[in-house]
Structure 1
Amino acid sequence: MTSLERLTSLSDTIAEKTKIVTEYLSSKGLEAASFDVNGLDEFPISPDDKVPSQARLDLIAATRELHGLALGPKEGLRYLAWDSVNSLSLQAVYEFQIAENVPLDRTISYQELAEKVNVPLLKLRPLVRHAMTNHIFYEPSKGLVAHSRTSRLLVENPQMHAWVGFFSEDLWNPIASVVNAMKKWPNSQEPNETGVNFANNSDLAWFDFLQKKEGLAKRYSLAMEAHGGGEGFKVEHTVEGYPWAELGEGTVVDMGGNQGYVSFAIARAYPKLKFIVQDTAGMRAPEVIGTIPEDLKDRAYLTTHNFFMEQTVVADVYFLRWIFHGFSEKYCIEILRQLRPALKKRARILINDGVLPDPGVAGAVEEKSMRTMDVMMQVTVNAREREIDDWAELFKTADERYRFLKAWKPEKSRMWLIEAEWTG
């Protein structure tokens, strides 16, 4: 296909997929997502409706490629190199609490806003106007600032607010320090030789650093809720994607389960199961710990345990969601070995994590997300995402008595389920 034919093909795809999406929304009496302050912040297309859901993903991929081709490689590379400025204006919005100081029901002048956030007008205005190019705020008339739907999320959605703070504030310098960390500690698998360590001049591993820096543990917890609620990462896929009912009245140990929101969701769907949620002492501190819902207090428990220490709880399933992708091979193997003292025959290890696709096999949206996650693991923990063969090899290396069973991706999910059995 020639370059001209590709442009035409993409524009035809965009028209075709847009028609599918808009006709679906119209048939349901729904509106599309909008940047209007009172608009929808998510596209209201259910993944259960496969045709319009896939059309939306195809539309995202086609518009992205067409945008890149219309720019051309040279201009596209120039834009890519200075895209970090997007994070700069977003960081300023977060750090100076600009969204919180723009009224939800009226406009505010730049001068008044500058006084409220204690930032000089001539420094504030360029940052806010740059944020507007990313649909954060808008300027209904010259000199006045108003909320968009995007900026309103920063005020009303604590999870998204934490997500923005986590990446634009907490990880801003560490991301920029990854290459320096790679030069300083080549071939390292250690969790305290990362961009976070280089940027903060710290020798603490990420999860220890997380608990030492004021407010970071709680912000991280909220940010992970935002991530867990994203398309393809919703807890429902975990609830529905595994045959939990076959466990009967079994016990599940949710290792590194944070505040237990995933276990709570599974417990509500399967009322015979008992859940023991384990995490480190720092995640069980009074200022961080969540609470167990009243309806689950007889079947769910928040307990303290470090999964690098010997496991003492005998259970039917040991569940680890978004844990292994946070550690290098060396430490993943150690987690599996520390489980062995508690394992009964046929106990299952169930991992809910990512699986890297072969290049070009997954859709563009999914592949971009997975490749980004793969790189991000270097920033904080010196880890990576894994292919299916890598998962099987982890179990084999940890102990020959582990039997790798299978890995599968629940429908509509971007996360996989990886299962092994203890045979010893």
Structure 2
Amino acid sequence: MASRIDHLAATISANTNAITTYLDQNNLPHPSFDADGPITLNLSSQVERARSAAINALQELLDLLQGPIACMIPNYNGTSLQVISRHDIASKVPMEGAISFAELAQATDLHVNDLRRILRYAMCYHRLFKEPEEGFVAHSAGSKKLATDKIVRAGLGQSFDEFYGSFARTADALDTFKDGEPNHTGFALAHNTDKTMFDYLRTHPLKADQFSKAMRFYSAGVPGYSESLLVEGYDWESLGAVTVVDVGGADGYVSRALSKAHPKLNMVVEDLPDIVDAADRVGSTDRIRYQAYDFFSTQPIAGADIYLFRWVFHDWPDHYVIQILRAQVPALHQGSRIVVNESLSVPPRSLPLTLRRDICFIDLLMLTTNNSRLRTMAEWQDLFTAADSRFGTVRRISGEGAALAILEVAWEGE
């Protein structure tokens, strides 16, 4: 009988063979960290499933071969990425060719010895940059993307400017505060503020802009979080020419994707005034309009067919979610639907390992930043019922490969 590690090795082999065959048949580049290597593999949905299966098997095989003690060691050190982000090192490395550590140190105002070990760590752990010959730095595919893509830079900056220090203060927050309020967090302690994260960001416009761009980075960076899964995973076409209100929709990137794929939809993007005013509206059409709105106040767009909340409720503790839902009630008509696009809290072993790890990471991140959490289906039903008994049953729609479930709740009142 084959051992578990033999089974995992066979799974990896079979699925990587499927990927290789697909890439060869479609004349697509193979994975590489070279500067001209592909950032994404452009796989079909079937081959994407093979990639996911290989990754999950690799994760488990690595854990088994390392053993329980090694799995306990927190060997991830974010210092290298933090320095690379703060000093914008990627943009200082030439797009072609190489630069010496000494020249790069001068350009970044870092000591050459510190720069060398920081970048060598990034090369080993993060596959950022390369050392084509001793003493010289050149781009890898990842570092070139970091140098040229403002969304990627924002995502990396957000991780360290706002979250990195907050993780270190979460245990202190749990010991200090016992009320579960969104301003009593590791984030608040790390930033020496009594504000919630969102109120803090609103008083720091550059940080708020970075946060907005970072949300797009997280959506694009992991296939399971792509807005395309919402665009394709819900039966928008059957709705016809209806109005969809994208509540907390930031700069409208999800609404633009929906409008492009489903031309009959009329989109309204709602967010706070400063976010709406600063929204990047490139690609908007006459079927997308913007509305300033604080979702704790009464919903101003009455009679819409769909009120969409994508990645909104996970940012708030339960009693705030209930307030937000109650604020929508005066605008609803019989048959109006609340559509929620969020990660679900799920039992152990009910999902592949890599997806479970992503979900657990987000759940703990929500504790760190907002004192909020991910929720089970039963907990979602409890929240809607607590908000108003006229909300119907929460229905789950899950697209294949999606890390975010689509939940639909109809309004059954008058």
Q: Per the shorter chain, which TM-score range?
A: over 0.9
Q: What corresponds to 2:280 in structure 1?
A: 290
How far apart are the structure 1 equivalents of 2:38 and 2:241?
Answer: 41
What residue number does 1:55 align with? 50
SS at match of 1:177: helix
Residue aligning to 1:9: 7
Structure 1 residue 291, shift from structure 2 partner: 2.1
For 2:241 and 2:4, the matched residues in 1 are separated by 56
1:59-70 aligned within 5 A = 59-70=54-65
Q: 1:127 is matched with which residue?
A: 118
| TM-aligned CA deviation for residue 292 of structure 1 | 5.6
Q: CA RMSD in A?
A: 1.6
Partner of 2:182: 191
Per-residue deviation, 1:339: 1.0
Residue number among 87, 91, 102 corresponding to 1:100 in the alignment: 91
The equivalences for 1:148-159 within 5 A come to: 148-159=140-151
Q: 1:265 to 1:137 in 2, by over 3 A?
A: same
Conserved 8 A contact 2:267-2:288: yes
Q: Does 1:180 align with 2:183?
A: no
Partner of 2:229: 237
Q: Which residue of 2 aligns with 1:30?
A: 28
- 8 Å CA contact retained: 1:276, 1:303: yes
Task: Note the alpha carbon deviations across 1:350-391, whole angstroms, 9 max, x for none.
Answer: 111112222101111211111111111111111111111111
Residue-by-residue CA offset, 1:282-309 (whole Å, 9 max, x unaligned): 3134xx3222636x12x21111000001
154-163 vs 64-73, greater mean Cα deviation: 64-73
- Contact kept, 8 Å, 1:345 with 1:422, in 2: the verdict is yes
Query: Does residue 401 of structure 1 match 2:390?
Result: yes
After TM superposition, give the deviation of residue 116 of structure 1 in Å. Answer: 0.5
Q: Deviations over 1:84-122 (max 9, x none)?
A: x2x110001111111111111111111000000111112
Cα displacement (A) at 1:29: 1.8
- Structure 1 178/265 Cα, relative in aligned 2: closer, same or farther at 3 Å? same
From 308, 313, 332, the equivalent of 2:296 is 308
1:7: how far off?
2.6
Structure 1: gaps (5+ residues): none
Deviation at 1:405, TM superposition (A): 4.1
Once the two structures are superposed, the pairs formed by residues 141-290 of structure 1 within 5 Å of their partners are 141-186=133-178, 188-229=179-220, 230-285=222-277, 288-290=278-280
Aligned equivalents of 2:44 and 2:347: distance in 1?
Answer: 27
Q: How far has the Cα of 1:167 moved from its partner?
A: 0.5
Instruction: Calculate percent identity across the aligned residue pairs.
Output: 33
Unaligned stretches of 5+ in structure 2?
none
Amino acid at match of 1:244: W
Look up the match of 1:116: 107
Contact 2:242-2:266 at 8 Å conserved across structures:
yes
Aligned to 1:385: 374
Q: 1:358 aligns with which of 330, 341, 347?
A: 347
Q: Deviations over 1:153-200 (max 9, x none)?
A: 1111221111111102221111111111111112x3311111110111
Shift of 1:336: 0.6
Verify the 8 A CA contact 1:136 1:147 in the aligned structure 2. yes
CA distance in 1, matches of 2:232, 2:19: 26
- Quick check: 2:299–2:330 contact (8 Å CA) kept in 1? yes
Cα 1:180–1:311, aligned 2, differ >3 Å: closer, same or farther?
A: same
* C-alpha distance in structure 2 between counterparts of 1:105 and 1:365, whole Å: 35
Counterpart amino acid of residue 165 in structure 1: G
Secondary structure of the equivalent of 2:133? coil
Structure 1 SS opposite 2:392: strand
1:313-358 per-position Cα deviation (integer Å, ceiling 9, x unaligned): 1111111111111111110001011111111222111111112222
Given the two structures, how large is their TM-score scaled by the length of structure 2?
A: 0.95
Counterpart amino acid of 1:246? S
Of 16, 41, 45, the match for 1:43: 41
Segments of 4+ moved more than 6 angstroms: none
- Tell me by how many angstroms 1:214 deviates: 4.1
Number of residue pairs aligned between Structure 1 and Structure 2: 410
The answer (yes or no) to whether the contact 1:33–1:44 under 8 Å persists in 2 is: no
Residue 73 of structure 1 is matched in structure 2 by 68
How high is the TM-score relative to the length of structure 1? 0.93
Deviations 1:115-163 (A, max 9, x none): 0011111221111111111211111111011111111111112211111
